[in-house]
Amino acid sequence: MKKTLYALLIVAILPFSAVQAQVGITAVPFLQIEPDSRSTGMGNTGVAIADNAAAIFWNPAGLAFQNQSQINLTHANWLPAFNADLFYDYLVGTYYIEGIGTIGGHVTFLNLGEQIRTDETGLELGRFNSFEISTGLSYGFRISDNFSVGTGLRYIYSSLADGEVGGQSINPGSSIGVDLAALYKTNPFTVANRQANLNIGFNLSNIGPGIQYTDKAQKDPLPTVLRAGWAYTMELDGNGLNTITLSNDVSKIMARNERVSPDTDDPEYERMGVVEALFNSWGSFERHNGTEMVEVGLAQQLMFGFGLEYWYDNLFALRSGYYYEHPENGNREFITLGAGLRYNIFGVDFSYLYTLEDDHPLANTIRLSVLINFR
């Protein structure tokens, strides 16, 4: 059973090696999976766009500028290179209430498949299913015609394994996460006789207590993420039907462990509290890299996404992007491609991830999203 549990944790964390690099083992990294195919086709950028139901993930302050109700469903086969029958589903909906604004809700589900339960000798004792799920509500409030704030609250449930490990009971873990966000939109301005506008967004997501899986008094922190970015949109004609958008997101993991036994070959770590981690995660830190400790500076902890989107006649879109993490801090680097189609109240978005590293577990990841817009 012990080996099975560790294998589950590795599978759950592997797609988010940045989380592993910064905090050792961070719970529920599925909360960081970028859900909608539009933003993932643009290099995982969206904090300054946030103009549809997926704003619940990217920037709930964007809900304040929306006056329609939507449903968006995304499905992806997860880690296709492993052929492990894992999948990810994201269902999000928004509802506009006159005089109040737009309220959003979501359900996020990651299926980790069927696992084999064994004892310490490897004897098979049965099978069980592993999964993680989150559900919550979000709301955005407009402070002025150009500026809004937003927040979100989610319940998180993680069932990785059961039984016992080293005499300790293994139980599902649960927690609560909070988002705090802001979005600023400039008034339209003119560039080369074309109308343009600039958005600036900020989102601090998944603030909350850690998750405990065993009866030992130790919790793994939530993957608290600080994301900031901009998006510049310009019309290519005089009627706004053909547009181009450039976007850039910069993000950073705000959870942190503190190394408390630096003079040992197998160092121990102490979990920081939520507030303490927010203030103490701006400096460099050391992490164990095989047989040695390496220092990761602040600049190396930043993760960058760049996106490009072209809309033709407000009906068809082409997208591309680039995402980068430092080799000492996750080492994810990939190019994204995407396309979108809108007709009447329906929309379909597609994205494809091409990794620049051979045999990467995220290689050839495809996301498909279906959008229904109730005007």
Segment among 41-45, 62-66, 258-262 with least mean pLDDT: 258-262
pLDDT digits (tens, 9 = 90+) for 191-206: 988 999 999 999 999 9
The reported pLDDT for the residue numbered 374 is 84
Is the pLDDT reported for residue 7 higher than 70? no
Percent of the chain with pLDDT over 90: 53
Torsion sign, CA atoms 142, 148, 149, 152: positive
Give 109's pLDDT tier (boundaries 50, 70, 90).
very high
Is the pLDDT reported for residue 18 higher than 50? no
Q: Which fold has domain 2-374?
A: Porin (2.40.160)
At 4, phi and psi to the nearest 5?
Answer: -65, -45
* Alpha-carbon dihedral angle through residues 80, 82, 86, 92, given to the nearest 10 degrees: -40
Reading the block at residue 266, the tokens are: 């197998």
pLDDT digits (tens, 9 = 90+) for 245-293: 999 999 999 876 554 444 555 555 566 667 777 777 887 777 766 667 7
Query: C-alpha distances in angstroms, 188 versus 61, 145, 197, 223?
Result: 19, 12, 5, 36
Segment among 10-19, 198-207, 220-229, 256-265 with least mean pLDDT: 10-19
214 CA to centre of own chain: 26
The region that residue 167 occupies, defined by phi over 0 for left and psi between -120 and 50 for alpha, beta otherwise, is left
Mean pLDDT of the chain: 84
CB atoms within 10 A of CB 310: 14
Is the pLDDT reported for residue 25 higher than 70? no
Segment among 72-81, 290-299, 305-314, 345-354 with least mean pLDDT: 290-299
